[in-house]
Amino acid sequence: MLLNDINSVRFEINKWRKEGATIGLVPTMGALHAGHLSLIQKAKEICDKVVVSVFVNPIQFGPSEDFDKYPRTLDADRILCEREGVDIIFAPSADEMYGEGQRLSNDTLTYVCPPFFYVNTLCGKSRPGHFDGVCTVVMKLFNIVQPDKAFFGQKDAQQVIIIKKMVKDLNVPIEIIQCPIVREESGLALSSRNKYLTEDGKKDALVLSKIINNIKSCYKKGITDVSALKETAYSFLTDKHDLEYLEFVDKATLDNKREADDDTLVLIACRVEGVRLIDNIYIGD
């Protein structure tokens, strides 16, 4: 069932609650691919009812980012969701989410702002305000759907760490389920933004997964010095790659590591053909 308004969603959810059903929420921006479907399948496996939200959230995009050109494929998304047995696809407009004519700014709207140490690093550094926008919309979706469990991908590792922190700090009674990264056979992590890449660009984009896999195998061989591990990674880069960051952090707190250990998360962001791509790996696994 495709619903666009909050009241209709609440109406359906209330019926489920009376039946004692457990509810899973999978927040997405649409342009669904197998990565999203893995979250939906996990939700179907452990919840009685599943809601998938499809909303390209304007407040998490910076002024020079790709909000206008972000792929919007609701008809195809709907077919995929129905095939997976999704109970509600919630696809609101920005007016429905934020109020008609509402100016989208923290001058006039209440925002949920995650802690400075979690946002002033990695993707948050080059995307100021991004995680405020993410936490605000996720909190709104949590309040609208009131799910028992919500499903997020490790693909956006900083995002899921920040959401877990928000849930803990604000006593949100929802369990966050983190799902592994789904990749193409080539190793490329699936992303809605891969649609912007040419075939050559997709080959060049393999550098992200190659670098993080190489770091993991070097670590398994006993190299723990982060500077040395970074040096080996840089040798994979060519003039086709515009590296934004390659960082080694604690997988729970995002604190920087100088020596890699089993709790280390390695994250990379790199532009290929002007498209900003991200990937990450737990090297201790």
Residues that bind ligand AMP (CB under 6 A): 28-29, 35-36, 38-39, 152-153, 155-156, 179, 181-182, 189-192
Cβ proximity to ligand AMP: between 147 and 153 the closer is 153
Number of helical H runs and strand E runs in the chain: 11, 9
Cβ proximity to ligand AMP: between 179 and 270 the closer is 179
Cβ proximity to ligand AMP: between 65 and 259 the closer is 65
Cβ proximity to ligand AMP: between 56 and 226 the closer is 56
33, 36, 130, 241: the catalytic one is 36
Shortest CB 36 distance to ligand AMP, Å: 5
Q: H-helix or E-strand containing 175?
A: strand 175-179
Cβ proximity to ligand AMP: between 65 and 231 the closer is 65
Show Cβ contacts of residue 210 under 8 Å, excluding neighbours closer than 6 positions: 187, 236
Residue of 137, 150, 155 whose CA lies nearest to 34? 155
Shortest CB 220 distance to ligand AMP, Å: 23
Show Cβ contacts of residue 37 under 8 Å, excluding neighbours closer than 6 positions: 80, 84
Q: In this structure, what are the phi and psi dihedrals at residue 123, rounded to the nearest 5 degrees?
A: -65, -30
Let me know if 36 is a catalytic residue: yes
Shortest CB 67 distance to ligand AMP, Å: 13
Q: H-helix or E-strand containing 244?
A: strand 241-250
Whether the CB-CB separation of 215 and 235 falls below 8 Å is answered with no
Residue of 180, 160, 164 whose CA lies nearest to 172? 164
Shortest CB 70 distance to ligand AMP, Å: 9
Shortest CB 66 distance to ligand AMP, Å: 12
Question: How many Cβ atoms are within 10 Å of 164's Cβ, its own excluded?
Answer: 14
Shortest CB 5 distance to ligand AMP, Å: 21
First to last CA, the chain: 39
SS3 per residue for 41-87? HHHHHHCCEEEEEECCCHHHCCCCCCCCCCCCCHHHHHHHHHHCCCC
Question: How many Cβ atoms are within 10 Å of 41's Cβ, its own excluded?
Answer: 16
Residue in the block written with tokens 């992303």? 191
Q: In this structure, what are the phi and psi dihedrals at residue 231, rounded to the nearest 5 degrees?
A: -60, -45
Cβ proximity to ligand AMP: between 92 and 153 the closer is 153
Catalytic residues: 36
